[in-house]
Amino acid sequence: MRSKSAAAGALERLVGSVAEKDALVAAVAHECERAAQMDWAVELYLYAGRPRAALALITQQLSNALQPALSDSTKGAFLARCSL
């Protein structure tokens, strides 16, 4: 795997400014999100300097993972006792 700087160098040759590069990477991250490739989307959002978008995606994934446990009354009672 190439280093981040080598990949960034290739991208900078194709896209002029840092703002354009970040916008392009964020657009690709959004497409990854739409295609349910959440791990890639989070990584790309972080690379593009959009940590809030990455955090929102992580929060949504965590909420989706916990929802079945919260709807099950026995697991819900256990989770209520285990506050973070």
Q: What does the chain come to in residues?
A: 84
CA 82/CA 76 separation, integer angstroms: 10
Number of compact structural domains in the chain: 1
20: closest CA among 42, 51, 49?
49
Tokens 């593009």 sit on residue = 48
Residue range of the domain that includes 42: 4-81
Whether the predicted pLDDT of 3 surpasses 60: no
Average pLDDT score over residue span 52-78: 83
Average pLDDT score over residue span 18-31: 93
Predicted TM-score (pTM) of this structure: 0.69
Whether the predicted pLDDT of 2 surpasses 50: no
- pLDDT score for 76: 59
CA 18/CA 16 separation, integer angstroms: 7
CA 48/CA 75 separation, integer angstroms: 38
Task: State the CB neighbour count (10 A cutoff) for residue 46.
Answer: 15
